[in-house]
């Protein structure tokens, strides 16, 4: 992709950057836990309040972008996000922090729900894979930069800095976004299915909460509401003149399996951002700056994988890239499971890089396949679907891995095992599970068309 083409993509890239820069927050987990007196499992709510919000809104926002213009919705998301970041620096307690994370999630949905559609809409269809590769590289770059900046910001200014530093970036992107072309209008504007959107938001939110609260009894109540809402959404989608998403897509060969695979890879990949910061702080004893430097190796690998994925999909086909990406991801996660006391920093970085490359390759090929399957007029929904399926994996990881980790560590401590041994046993078990998951979806990927 030429320099002129990348310049055309710059407003979208800069605006999108504020979302993956949230990886800086993971560096602040130990500081946030200390500030509010939280145990490790409780920190999951910083993740879940945010991810649950943007995940449940994503498809509806994508549809809004398809109807009213992706650039318009994108700009509103940037302005909303800037306000949310500033509010997060002023919270008086943990409850207020979680409430503002919800507000931040709304802004993320508005930005991410239209980002892929804007990126592909700026170029001809023959350049779709390369445009998505550039966009995915931006996401991975933000995830890479986040831990590096996060370590320095937490050490120099406290945990609040991982939020306020993104407000100027959002405002700068907002100023540049006037260059984005307005969507061409042809004929009457399609209707927005508000009842369908409400049912979809309720279904996704309660389903994610059911996953999060399992096996507590309240999970059954959330699951019941999720099933009822999903049933209502299916009925509404069949009768609405223009539903939020055409459910007939999931009857196409391999489409449902492809989206399930992305959710599973999202689960596996998020284990790194969830648990590795605690290993680096507790076992490796790294200060925040070095912690961020090591953790950045994962998304740096993702950036390389995403950039290589564009040409690779064009040459070898999406299925081959999906399979290679899943296999490399599993290899990296199994390597992380073997970390112990005294594991050298080069080995830590190598394992994170390996896992990141796998995730980058897989995500690029998956996004290209989903985008190609849906109408060009539905690119907002297509991009949102790629984010939504990953969100299910992230919430499942935040819930189930913290449950497994916490239970295993508590059992070991109850047996009077040393704290480092208890931590490493729980850590290794969590990553063995995470590493096995990408291998389990290989049969689904092998049945994909080329």
Average pLDDT score over residue span 154-170 = 92
Higher pLDDT, 220 or 133: 220
Lowest-pLDDT range of 84-88, 231-235, 256-260, 396-400: 396-400
Q: Are 138 and 16 in contact (CB under 8 A)?
A: yes
* pLDDT at site 97: 93
pLDDT digits (tens, 9 = 90+) for 250-298: 877 788 888 899 999 988 988 898 899 889 988 988 887 788 788 888 8
* pLDDT at site 2: 55
Lowest-pLDDT range of 180-184, 191-195, 209-213, 242-246: 180-184
Average pLDDT score over residue span 23-49 = 82
116: confidence class by pLDDT, cuts 50, 70, 90: confident
**Is the pLDDT confidence value at 228 over 90?**
yes
**Cα distances (angstroms) measured from residue 71 to each of 57, 84, 117, 372:** 17, 20, 9, 21
DSSP 8-state symbol, 401: I
Task: List the one residue out of 440, 437, 428, 401 whose CA is nearest residue 335.
Answer: 428
How many alpha carbons fall within 13 Å on the CB side of residue 262? 26
Average pLDDT, the chain: 85
Task: List the one residue out of 445, 448, 449 whose CA is nearest residue 330.
Answer: 445
pLDDT digits (tens, 9 = 90+) for 301-315: 988 898 888 888 888
187: confidence class by pLDDT, cuts 50, 70, 90: low
Q: Are 61 and 213 in contact (CB under 8 A)?
A: no
* pLDDT at site 408: 92
* pLDDT at site 79: 95
Higher pLDDT, 73 or 375: 73
207's CB contacts (< 8 A; 6+ apart) are 222, 223, 226, 230, 392
pTM score, two decimals?
Answer: 0.76
* pLDDT at site 399: 73
426: confidence class by pLDDT, cuts 50, 70, 90: very high
pLDDT digits (tens, 9 = 90+) for 118-158: 877 777 767 777 777 778 778 778 877 887 888 889 888 98
* pLDDT at site 56: 82
């Amino acid at each position: 992709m030429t320099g002129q083409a990348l310049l055309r993509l710059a407003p979208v890239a800069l605006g999108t950057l504020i979302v993956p820069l949230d990886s800086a927050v993971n560096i602040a987990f130990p500081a946030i836990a200390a500030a509010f007196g939280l145990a490790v499992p409780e920190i999951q709510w910083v993740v879940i309040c945010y991810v649950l919000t943007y995940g449940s809104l994503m498809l509806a926002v994508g549809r809004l972008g398809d109807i009213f213009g992706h650039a318009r919705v994108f700009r509103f998301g940037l302005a909303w996000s800037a306000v949310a970041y500033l509010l997060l620096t002023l919270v008086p307690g943990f409850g207020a922090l979680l409430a503002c994370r919800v507000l931040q999630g709304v802004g993320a949905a508005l930005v991410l729900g239209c980002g892929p559609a804007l990126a592909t809409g700026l170029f001809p269809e023959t350049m779709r894979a390369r445009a998505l590769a550039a966009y995915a590289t931006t996401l991975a770059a933000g995830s890479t930069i986040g831990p590096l900046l996060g370590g320095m910001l937490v050490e120099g200014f406290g945990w609040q800095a991982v939020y306020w530093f993104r407000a100027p970036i959002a405002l700068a992107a907002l100023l540049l976004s006037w260059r984005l072309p307005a969507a061409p209008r042809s004929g009457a504007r399609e209707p927005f299915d508000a009842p369908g959107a409400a049912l979809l938001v309720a279904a996704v939110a309660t389903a994610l909460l059911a996953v999060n609260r399992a096996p507590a009894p309240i999970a059954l109540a959330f699951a019941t509401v999720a099933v009822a809402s999903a049933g209502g959404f299916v009925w509404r989608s069949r009768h609405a003149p223009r539903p939020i998403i055409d459910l007939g897509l999931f009857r196409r060969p391999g489409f449902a399996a492809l989206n399930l695979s992305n959710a599973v890879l999202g689960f596996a990949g998020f284990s790194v951002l969830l648990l590795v910061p605690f290993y680096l702080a507790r076992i490796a004893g790294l200060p925040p700056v070095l912690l961020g430097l090591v953790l950045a190796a994962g998304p740096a690998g993702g950036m390389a994988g995403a950039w290589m994925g564009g040409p690779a999909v064009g040459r070898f086909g999406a299925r081959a890239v999906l399979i290679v990406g899943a296999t490399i991801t599993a290899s990296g996660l199994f390597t992380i499971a073997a970390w112990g006391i005294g594991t050298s920093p080069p080995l830590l970085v190598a394992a994170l890089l390996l896992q990141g490359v796998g995730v980058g390759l897989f995500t690029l090929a998956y996004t290209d396949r989903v985008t190609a399957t849906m109408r060009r007029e539905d690119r907002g929904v297509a991009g949102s679907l790629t984010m939504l399926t990953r969100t299910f994996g992230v919430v499942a990881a935040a819930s189930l891995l913290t449950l497994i980790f916490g239970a295993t560590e508590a059992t070991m401590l109850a047996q009077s095992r040393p704290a480092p041994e208890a931590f490493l046993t729980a850590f290794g078990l969590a990553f063995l599970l995470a590493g096995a998951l990408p291998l389990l979806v290989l049969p689904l990927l092998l049945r994909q068309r080329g």
